[in-house]
Amino acid sequence: MTPDQQTSTDAEDHVRIFDTTLRDGEQAPGFSMDRRAKLRLAHALEALGVDIIEAGFPQASPDDFAAVSEIAGMLRNATVCGLARCQPGDIETTARAIEKAQRSRIHVFLSTSPLHREHKLGMSKQQVIDTAVRSIELARGLCHEVEFSAEDALRTEPEFLVEVFNAAVAAGATTLNAPDTVGYTTPGEMGELFAYLRRHVQGADKVIFSSHCHNDLGMAVANSLAAVSAGARQVECTINGIGERAGNAAMEEIVMALKVRAPHFGVDTRIDTRKLYPTSRLLSLLTGQNVPRNKAIVGENAFAHESGIHQHGMLKHRGTYEIMHPQDVGIAETKLVLGKHSGRHALRSRLQTMGYTPDDAEMENIFARFKALADKKREVHDDDLEAIALGHDPEAVGPWHLVQLNSSSHLGGSASASVRLSHEDGTEIGEAAIGDGPVDAVLRAIERATGTPLELTNFQVRGVSEGGDAQGQAQLTARNQDREWRGQAISTDIVEATALAALVIVNRIARQAPTTGTHPKVQGAVA
């Protein structure tokens, strides 16, 4: 193929988002994905508006090759990129993997720093240049465009980096990447280097300069933005900032920084920011790795406020404590979390949205009970508030108690569970059910035993201690009659923890339902 020269004089001067979640991110411990997961995420990344998707390292394994090949044949808008060392075998394998792409890129890399030249490569400066040139010349005839990365660029002598990049441009590279491979540099140093490169690299106006920053010192996003300010027009990043060691620069943070601070940076991306949160959640689902609550942009707390001062300000004007709208990143709404730091304004506002309009005296009583409960719990939910508003005890136990639980699952088959529950009126009832797994089966059995339908909307299990006898905490959210209810419980058996959490929900529903005498499911039960 004849390479297409990509220039920085495009009609629209924008920052190209080069996503490496499927390559650099996926190779990090704990984030490995199978081929089906990679294809699903690749679809989401293209829908998000990513310019270049680094689909993998084809030479790494037959499965990686197959995944890159399928992605290349599947996508229609994004450039599909494959990584290759500066070795003929790598480059030819990558070319075969991406040959079906509508637009293809081979990303070749070679170390350039003194430390890597001596201890990793055993090469002289001239050998590094010669190897890079041969590799770029081979790659340029096998794809639409070639990117060259000078690995450990930020610890490379600036004069030698210019020399290598000059040779790379002459050989046909269309993108030059100066990665902070070990996350060592600072924003000031990053800006100075990119400004230096743009002044001294021959043909700088005909190529795209790219940054690829790691987060070892927590400065990956700041360094990437510094590179953009100094003229970089491609940023290499990952969803949720996943990647080797402490991770890569987080795409969602870079994109929203450029959007929110548009007057400062003067450039934007082609990302549909409303899809950032759904894509983040998809990655979490595919890898089984939760997003930290305090993660910028997409974390659970990113648009949540518990402090009474902040909540009061938000109720007056959202601009007091939010610099962007949650809807901009795909989150439905701001969340005013009710906890021990919340004040009367937020509590009254929440009660009013629930249909309760207490007078001042009633509000004082409700607020006192709310504060007492908030001191015991991390978060007070709507069902807790309703119990308080109705004069009930939100932490009251019963009427249902777990007496016995049995569950079993079968490889390749369904799971079954049986429960025996006691009711506060002295009767007991037992039920059994089959489900997709032991958790599903035990929930179905509890539904039958209590006569309370539960539509599970969220289920999480996490360890709260270590060792073979570690305890697991189950957190459930279920819908019943157009309302969501929450319950949580702890046990060394996660199925038991699930059953106990489900009973918390069932009991809350029962306590707040109108009194009708004996529960209908208990009538006729065997004592």
Q: Are the CB atoms for 475 and 460 separated by under 8 Å?
A: yes
**Any idea which residue has 């770029």 for tokens?**
136
Read off the pTM.
Answer: 0.71
- Does the domain made of 400-512 have the CATH classification 3.40.1190.20? no
Q: Are the CB atoms for 146 and 139 separated by under 8 Å?
A: yes
Dist CA 38 CA 24 (whole Å): 13
Dist CA 283 CA 27 (whole Å): 14
For the chain, 527 residues long, the average pLDDT of each consecutive 10-residue run is: 40 85 91 92 97 97 95 97 97 98 98 94 96 98 98 96 98 98 97 98 96 98 98 98 96 97 96 95 90 88 62 62 81 67 78 77 85 76 70 68 89 85 90 90 93 89 60 83 82 86 88 56 40
Q: Are the CB atoms for 394 and 382 separated by under 8 Å?
A: no
**Any idea which residue has 């439905």 for tokens?**
332
- For residue 91, what pLDDT is reported? 98
Strands 415-423 and 400-409 turn out to be: antiparallel
- For residue 348, what pLDDT is reported? 82
- For residue 521, what pLDDT is reported? 52
- Show me where the domains of the chain are located: 16-287, 304-389, 400-512
Superfamily of domain 16-287: Aldolase class I (3.20.20.70)
The CB density around residue 483, as the number of other CB atoms within 10 Å, is: 12
